């Protein structure tokens, strides 16, 4: 007789049904009866069809207790476990990979149900989603950007360059501004007074908001300067919120302990002032005017598997390892850009990076069939960015 490994859908959402098609010996029928007495009917129960099919209805099970009970009973009835219908049943139960665990028992149905909020939609309306972004004056029209800028690397100060762009002409901005850590950039000072830093950064971001299309996204990769107690990610988010953009969310870019190698404990072994360590950076995502972005279905290039993985907002990606090769101290890795662009933009969209460095954003945008504009103040970095683009056919 052959075994049926079919595991059927939960019945009425209450029990999971497992069938084993095999002739049942008299001893096995006795064992099943005894098992039925040992476990609550609310958790499991059996049905036997014509001595040739065993059906188990399964909701909750202490699998260890179940296996021990089966083994005891097989011994008592002097049956070999190898060819027993009960061994097949246990194998089938164990092959179920998705279950919850509570009090040492496996929960096979409804374990992943979200907590239900009654009248969820009307409650959201009552609370008022993104109330802070409601009374904006963003226009819905779109303007074309001149070919002079499109698919180009432009050297200069972003603030001035962006002023020559029309409003509402760019689909997505992805960027990582200088963090003001004191890094050795080629043409810009990194480590100025914080007020000066934010004044300049926000003047550039102001222009970014203007050039972004209605429904466009701006995604900023930033690491706060923990040693100065400057929550740059919050200050930048506050800026965009003040400017009435909608906060879409935040991605945690886990860099695999990259920043924890040094020993800075603050007050060692004392609560007086311990120093916290972080192994991640942030991606803050904002939308102009609307959470939804228009685009053709034919221009979607994210796969189902990628989508499923990447909407979990913690991304494990190793830091860029080729910074020496490109002579830049603060590049982000291509994978970070790849995920961001596939998740938040369509093919052929116009992607801008106003702090383009050696051009990781523009490189990946080109590879993914997006149009791109990269701006950086350093001539050398712009040259590198152009060289990298030339390697993409
Ligand atoms: C964190 S890096 C970006 C690196 C880039 N993501 C990459 O992978 O190459 C910041 C960049 O901003 C540039 N920068 C600083 N001030 C600027 C400004 N006012 N306008 C344009 N670029 C500027 C710096 O030269 C530096 O390359």
pLDDT digits (tens, 9 = 90+) for 353-376: 999 999 999 999 999 999 999 999
Check residue 179 and give its pLDDT.
85
Residue 265's pLDDT is what? Answer: 81
* CA 210 / ligand 1 centre spacing (Å): 20
What pLDDT was estimated at residue 262? 59
Which pLDDT score, from 0 to 100, does residue 393 have?
Answer: 82
- Give the distance (Å) from ligand 1 centre to CA of residue 202: 14
pLDDT (0 to 100) of residue 5: 39
Q: Ligand 1 centroid vs 370 CA: distance in angstroms?
A: 21
pLDDT, tens digit, 9 for 90 and up, residues 223-277? 888 888 999 999 999 999 999 999 999 999 999 865 555 567 888 889 999 988 8
Q: What is the pLDDT of residue 75?
A: 93
How many angstroms does the Cα of residue 293 sit away from the middle of ligand 1?
Answer: 27
Which residue has better confidence, 126 or 364?
364
**CA 10 to ligand 1 center in whole angstroms:** 55
Nearest to 245 by CA among 221, 224, 214: 214
Name the residue with tokens 């188990």: 56
> Which atom of ligand 1 is closest in space to residue 385's alpha carbon?
9
Q: Which atom of ligand 1 is nearest to the CA of 378?
A: 25
Ligand 1 and 185: CB distance under 6 A: yes
For the stretch 9-67, pLDDT in tens is 444 457 888 999 999 999 999 999 999 999 998 899 999 988 899 999 999 999 999 99
Over residues 132-175, the pLDDT tens digits come to: 999 999 999 999 999 999 999 999 999 999 999 999 999 999 99
For residue 301, name the pLDDT band (cuts at 50, 70, 90).
very high
| Ligand 1 contacts CB of residue 220 (under 6 A) | no
Angle between helices 379-390 and 360-367 (to 10 degrees): 20
Q: What pLDDT does residue 10 have? A: 43
Q: Half-sphere exposure of 207 toward its Cβ, with a 13 Å CA cutoff?
A: 18
Angle between helices 26-38 and 63-76 (to 10 degrees): 140
Q: Determine whether the shortest distance from the Cβ of 357 to ligand 1 is under 6 A.
A: yes
Q: Residue 114: pLDDT band by 50, 70, 90 thresholds?
A: low
For the purposes of burial, counting CB atoms within 10 Å of the CB of 115, is it exposed (0-12), middle (13-18) or buried (19 or more)? exposed
Share of the chain above pLDDT 90, in %: 72
Residue 272 CB coordination number (10 Å): 8
**Where are the domains positioned within the chain?**
7-107, 137-390
Using alpha carbons, select from 344, 352, 364, 268 the residue that is nearest to residue 302. 344
Q: What is the pTM of this model?
A: 0.74
Is domain 137-390 in CATH 3.40.50.150, yes or no? Answer: yes
């Amino acid at each position: 007789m052959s075994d049926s490994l079919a595991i059927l859908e939960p019945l009425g959402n209450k029990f999971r049904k497992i069938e084993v098609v095999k002739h049942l010996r008299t001893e096995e029928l006795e064992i099943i009866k005894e098992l039925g007495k040992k476990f609550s009917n609310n958790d499991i129960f059996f049905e036997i069809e014509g001595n040739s099919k065993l059906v188990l209805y399964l909701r909750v099970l202490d699998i260890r207790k179940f296996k021990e009970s089966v083994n005891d009973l097989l011994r008592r009835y002097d049956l070999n476990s190898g060819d027993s219908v009960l061994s097949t049943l246990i194998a089938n139960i164990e092959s179920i990979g998705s279950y919850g665990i509570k009090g040492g028992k496996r929960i096979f149905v409804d374990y992943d149900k979200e907590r239900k909020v009654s009248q969820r939609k009307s409650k959201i309306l009552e609370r008022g989603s993104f109330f802070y972004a409601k009374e904006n004056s963003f226009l819905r029209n779109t303007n074309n950007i001149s070919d002079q800028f499109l698919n180009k690397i432009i050297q200069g100060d972003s603030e001035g360059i962006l002023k020559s762009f029309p409003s509402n002409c760019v689909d997505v901005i992805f960027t990582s501004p200088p963090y003001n850590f004191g890094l050795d950039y080629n043409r810009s000072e990194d480590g100025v007074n914080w007020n000066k830093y934010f004044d300049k950064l926000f003047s550039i971001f102001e222009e970014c908001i203007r050039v972004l299309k209605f429904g466009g996204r701006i995604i900023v990769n930033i690491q706060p300067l923990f040693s100065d107690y400057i929550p740059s990610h919050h200050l930048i988010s506050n800026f965009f919120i003040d400017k009435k953009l909608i906060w879409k969310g935040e991605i945690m870019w886990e860099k695999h302990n990259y920043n924890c190698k040094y020993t800075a404990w603050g007050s060692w072994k004392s609560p007086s002032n311990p120093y916290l360590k972080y192994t991640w950076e942030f991606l803050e995502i904002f939308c102009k005017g609307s959470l939804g972005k228009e685009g053709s279905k034919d221009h979607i290039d994210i796969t189902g598997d990628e989508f499923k993985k990447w909407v979990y907002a913690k991304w494990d990606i190793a830091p860029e390892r080729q910074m020496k090769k490109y002579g830049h101290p603060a590049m982000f890795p291509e994978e970070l850009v790849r995920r961001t662009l596939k998740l938040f933009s369509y093919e052929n969209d116009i992607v801008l990076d106003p702090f383009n460095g050696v051009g990781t954003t523009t490189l990946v945008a080109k590879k993914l069939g997006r149009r791109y504009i990269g701006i950086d103040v350093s001539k050398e970095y712009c040259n590198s960015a152009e060289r990298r683009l030339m390697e993409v056919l």
